[in-house]
Amino acid sequence: MDHEALTHEMRGLREQVTGITDTAVAAADGLLIAADTADSIDPEGLAALAAAGLGLARRTAQATARGALRQTVTYGSHGCAAFYAVGDTALMVVLGDEGLDVDRLHRATQPALDRIGSILMNKTAEGV
């Protein structure tokens, strides 16, 4: 796997969307792969929470016939935490402060998720 390309995607997203404070990528079972997070965040715990959160959201979507899960977003008074599935094998966490435009985040994240999925599966993604 191209470690530099993964770092590039994670940092690139943070530079592209104002308000992103931290990002992390983990395997679908919650094992941390990479974290670009502040010291105040426990990235291992965050990865495990994201895996559990996505699992719960996926089952909720199934049980309520809401179709394929897109993402989960937890909104707090000081910002939000978004969890995205990366294909069938991994997940990505994006934390943002109160200024983060969540719609803009979702738009910017979709192409990045495809590229991160390709990087993780050792495929050569175009433009990376």
Strand partners, 76: 79
For another protein, the closer of residues 7 and 74 by Cβ is 7
Helix (H) or strand (E) holding 100: none
**Closer residue to another protein (CB): 34 or 113:** 34
CB of 124 vs another protein, minimal distance in Å: 17
Are 83 and 71 a contacting pair, CB within 8 Å?
A: yes
- Terminal-to-terminal C-alpha distance of the chain: 12
Q: How far is the CB of 127 from another protein (least distance, A)?
A: 20
Q: Tell the smallest beta-carbon distance from residue 82 to another protein (Å).
A: 15
Would you say 66 or 104 has its CB closer to another protein? 104
Q: Which residues sit at the interface with another protein, rule CB under 8 A?
A: 1, 3-4, 6-7, 10-11, 16, 18-19, 21, 27-29, 31-36, 38-39, 76-78, 85, 88-90, 97-101, 104, 120-121
Strand, helix or coil at 1?
A: coil
* Residue 26 contacts residue 47 (beta carbons within 8 Å): yes
CB-wise, 4 or 66, nearer to another protein?
4
User: CB 65: neighbour CB atoms within 10 A?
Assistant: 6
> What backbone torsions phi and psi does residue 92 show, to the nearest 5 degrees?
-130, 140
Residue 77 Cβ, how far from another protein at the closest point, in Å? 3
- Kindly state the tokens that stand for 125: 């993604």
